[in-house]
Structure formats: structure tokens, C-alpha cells
Amino acid sequence: MGDRGACIEGLVCATLVNDPLEVRSFLACWPDKPIAQQLNRCAARIQEQVGGRVIRVENLHVTLAFLGDLMPTQISAVEDVCAPLPRTFRLELDRVGFWKTKGIVWIGPRTPDVEFNKFVENLRDRLRRVGFRIDSRPFTPHITLLRKVRKRPRIVLEALDWVINEYTLVASKLEQDGARYSVSKRWSTLGDVK
Ligand code: 2AM
């Protein structure tokens, strides 16, 4: 009977198994194809130097807010909070970073766009106010390029100029070879209806 035998039937399942309606969700910006392809080439060069697992080109993104497993009513609440981008933002991706404890190599802007960060922090605050638990650390825009890296890469890359004109609500399914993402909703810059 294993572990379950020691527990109260019914209650056990409720705590151990996720509700099938729950969807692992996050808000993110996605680089367009040419930028994503360049980032993928950067990741391959870094991998040659320090190993690790390159993030698939179609999965490259900046997470604005990680939301966790959401029920459909919570997804509607997120959609109610999200607003269009007030304008287009540009991020100069010119800094490769390494988070040793997470084993992540990422790329991001050396100089953050203050207005973009303000927009994201404000969005995260509004989500908190309606009950979502959002990472309390300040927003650090980054695109994860590789995981499972043990050593800091030493690499000089040409800066990439990324124009951001939308963000999306994404559903994530974890599979053996990494995550599969699907976009469920988009918010573009004001006046740019999708
Ligand atoms: P990362 O790239 O810095 O690891 C989808 O999983 C995205 O949400 C990833 O980009 C990941 O950021 C971020 N993410 C995953 N789990 C998270 C968590 N528990 N808290 C905050 N962000 C998370």
C-alpha cells in the first residue's frame, strides 16, 4: 500500500496531484526570429566553452512575471490586470551573466531601460494586489540561454538591439527534453490592436 496507506483517503490525492485544469503560466516578451537565432548562435558558442544545455531557439524569452499553476478563474484575473504596453521599448542585450547556484547563463541589458522596468514592476504590483504571489526580488530583465552550466563563460559578444512591442501570457508544459510553451494571449503597444 506504500505511503498512501498511512494517509486519509481522498485528502491524499487532493494534496499530491495537481488539478488537471491548472496551467503553469507566466508573462513574457519574446525576441523576434532574427534576434532569437542570433541568441541561439551565442548560446552554442558559450556551450562550446563551458558545456550545459542550450535553450531551444523557440523558447528564448524574458519572463516579466512567473505566475505558477493557475486555475481558469485565475487566468481571467491575470488577463483583467494586464494592460497594453504604453510604448515600444528597446533593450540593448550586451551583458552575459552567470548565476552559479541556478547553473544559468543569460543575456540582458547592461543598462536597464528604466521605463520598461517601471512598467514591469507596476504590472507585478497590480498582480500582487489581486492575490498573486510574484517574486519579491527586483525585476532583472534576462533571457536564459543555457542551463546546467557549472563554469562562468568568458566571452565577448556583439550587442543585440531588441525592440519590444508586445508581451504575452504563456502556458508551460514541462517535458523530458525541456519546456513546451504556448501563447494564450498578447498585449501590444497602445493603439496596436491584435
Ligand atoms: P529563468 O529563465 O530565470 O529560470 C518559465 O519557466 C520562466 O519562468 C523561466 O524563464 C524562468 O526564469 C521563470 N521561472 C520558473 N520558475 C520560477 C519561479 N519559481 N520563480 C520565478 N521565476 C520562475
Residue 1 CA to ligand 1 centre (angstroms): 36
Confidence of residue 18 (pLDDT cuts 50, 70, 90): confident
12-16, 162-166, 171-175, 179-183: which has the minimum mean pLDDT?
A: 12-16
CATH of 19-188 among 3.90.1140.10, 3.40.50.2000, 3.30.43.10, 3.40.710.10: 3.90.1140.10
Q: Average of pLDDT values for 40-45? A: 96
CB distance 69 to ligand 1 below 6 Å: no
What's the confidence (pLDDT) of residue 191? 64
Separation of alpha carbons 69 and 171, rounded Å: 9
CB distance 168 to ligand 1 below 6 Å: no
The CA–CA distances, whole Å, from 185 to 23, 75, 166, 188 equal 14, 10, 10, 10
Q: Where are the domains of the chain?
A: 19-188
Q: Which amino acid is at 135?
A: D
CB distance 59 to ligand 1 below 6 Å: no
Q: Average of pLDDT values for 25-41? A: 97
What's the confidence (pLDDT) of residue 128? 98
CB distance 99 to ligand 1 below 6 Å: no
End-to-end CA, the chain: 53
- pLDDT tens per residue across span 82-129: 999 999 999 999 999 999 999 999 999 999 899 999 999 999 999 999
Nearest-CA residue for atom 12 of ligand 1: 63
CB distance 135 to ligand 1 below 6 Å: yes
